[in-house]
């Protein structure tokens, strides 16, 4: 059981990093620092969007419109850490 909890914790840790990478890459694209015409950049963006967009789109439905500021990644990261800590406390890890 401890190995499963540790594996789940590592997967959550990696997913949080994918969320952070996605946010940073979207800022770099918005400020024209990186070019999406580059095949590698496009494939990395597409990969991160496929992993992060479903939960982020769900959260965006409940958040107020703040103009061009998107706080859904922050909300999702906080929610992930809250649920992770709650499960660790319940399971006694």
Q: Does pTM surpass 0.75?
A: yes
Where residue 65 falls among pLDDT bands split at 50, 70, 90?
A: confident
Provide φ and ψ at 65, rounded to 5°: -75, 120
pLDDT on residue 87:
85
Evaluate if residue 2 carries a pLDDT over 90: no
Tens of pLDDT, residues 7-62: 988 999 999 999 999 999 999 999 999 998 999 999 999 999 999 999 999 999 99
Where residue 67 falls among pLDDT bands split at 50, 70, 90?
A: confident
Query: Tokens 């992060």 label which residue?
Result: 52
Two tokens at 41? 């950049």
């Amino acid at each position: 059981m401890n190995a499963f909890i540790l594996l789940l914790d590592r997967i959550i840790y990696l997913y949080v990093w994918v969320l952070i990478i996605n946010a940073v890459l979207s800022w770099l694209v918005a400020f024209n620092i990186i070019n999406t015409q580059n095949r590698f950049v496009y494939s990395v963006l597409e990969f991160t969007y496929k992993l992060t967009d479903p939960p982020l789109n769900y959260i965006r439905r409940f958040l107020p419109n703040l103009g061009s500021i998107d706080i859904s990644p922050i909300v999702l990261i906080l929610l992930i850490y809250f649920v992770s800590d709650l499960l660790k406390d319940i399971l006694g890890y």
